[in-house]
């Protein structure tokens, strides 16, 4: 069994994929193209960080995909045929996939392209106050229907998901920078250090200072 490193190159990333390689092309300069058939159920896989952007397009099928940073909360997404997304991870991440009956629970959820638009908007506005109206408008839906569809797709309410994204960034900044806890709290939208610490402890289980010492 291959041991998963902290990071790898785009050329070597395929070694850590569990799917069956169907086709590959290395004919383009600085571009690798590979087509995989993924397992219908994948309980847990840890992928190393890859500096180069990784573009993924779903050719067929649908699956409920859950992913997280090490020891972080699971974030759920429904992916389906014709979805396209871009990833560039700076740290290892864990993924599990369910393509069987689990996907039935997500019927009536957000289409992949709308979820990506909303998530991208959240990520660019983490320092701002949460706004359901702004997110619903981005998805071109009413607030009521957007909230229901979002929770069905991700397993979280929009506000809960927003907090998870804030905590994900805060954990990364605590691991990778020497910025103060106060500065990091401001960067993810908390003007009160005590409020930031309280939310971080509730979501992560320990305080920001304790989390940094562990890393």
Q: Is 137 exposed, middle or buried (0-12, 13-18, 19+ CB in 10 A)?
A: middle
**Domain boundaries, position 44:** 1-107
pLDDT digits (tens, 9 = 90+) for 62-85: 777 878 777 676 777 777 776 766
Q: Is residue 116 part of a domain?
A: no
Q: Is residue 87 part of a domain?
A: yes
The span from the CA of 210 to the CA of 203, in Å, is: 14
Q: Is residue 33 part of a domain?
A: yes
Q: Is residue 171 part of a domain?
A: no
Q: Is residue 137 part of a domain?
A: no
Q: Is residue 42 part of a domain?
A: yes
Q: Is 138 exposed, middle or buried (0-12, 13-18, 19+ CB in 10 A)?
A: middle
Q: Are 153 and 110 in contact (CB under 8 A)?
A: yes
Q: Is residue 12 part of a domain?
A: yes
Could you give the number of structural domains in the chain? Answer: 1
Chain mean pLDDT for the chain:
82
Sign of CA dihedral 16, 18, 24, 29: negative
Q: Is residue 165 part of a domain?
A: no
Q: How many degrees, rounded to 5, is the angle at CA 13 between CA 7 and CA 16?
A: 95
Domain CATH for 84: 2.60.120
The span from the CA of 20 to the CA of 204, in Å, is: 35
- Pick the more confident residue, 185 or 20: 185
pLDDT digits (tens, 9 = 90+) for 80-127: 776 766 666 677 878 888 775 444 445 567 877 788 889 999 999 999
Q: Are 32 and 58 in contact (CB under 8 A)?
A: no
């Amino acid at each position: 069994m291959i041991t998963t490193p902290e990071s790898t190159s785009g050329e070597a990333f395929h070694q850590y994929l569990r799917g069956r390689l169907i086709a590959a092309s290395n004919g383009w300069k600085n571009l690798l193209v590979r087509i995989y058939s993924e397992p219908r159920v994948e309980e847990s896989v840890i992928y190393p960080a890859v500096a180069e952007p990784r573009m993924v397009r779903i050719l067929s099928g649908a699956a409920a995909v859950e992913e997280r940073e090490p020891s972080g909360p699971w974030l759920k997404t429904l992916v389906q045929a014709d979805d396209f997304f871009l990833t560039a991870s700076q740290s290892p991440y864990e993924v599990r996939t369910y393509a069987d009956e689990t996907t039935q629970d997500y019927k009536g959820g957000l289409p992949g392209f709308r979820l990506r638009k909303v998530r991208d908007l959240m990520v660019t506005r983490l320092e701002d106050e949460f706004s359901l109206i702004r997110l619903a408008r981005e998805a071109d839906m009413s607030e009521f229907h957007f909230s229901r569809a979002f929770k069905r797709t991700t397993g979280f309410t929009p506000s809960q998901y927003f907090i998870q994204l804030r905590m994900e960034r805060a954990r990364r900044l605590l691991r990778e920078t020497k910025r103060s806890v106060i500065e990091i709290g401001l960067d993810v939208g908390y003007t009160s250090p005590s409020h930031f610490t309280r939310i971080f402890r509730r979501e992560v289980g320990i305080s920001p200072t304790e989390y940094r010492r562990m890393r």
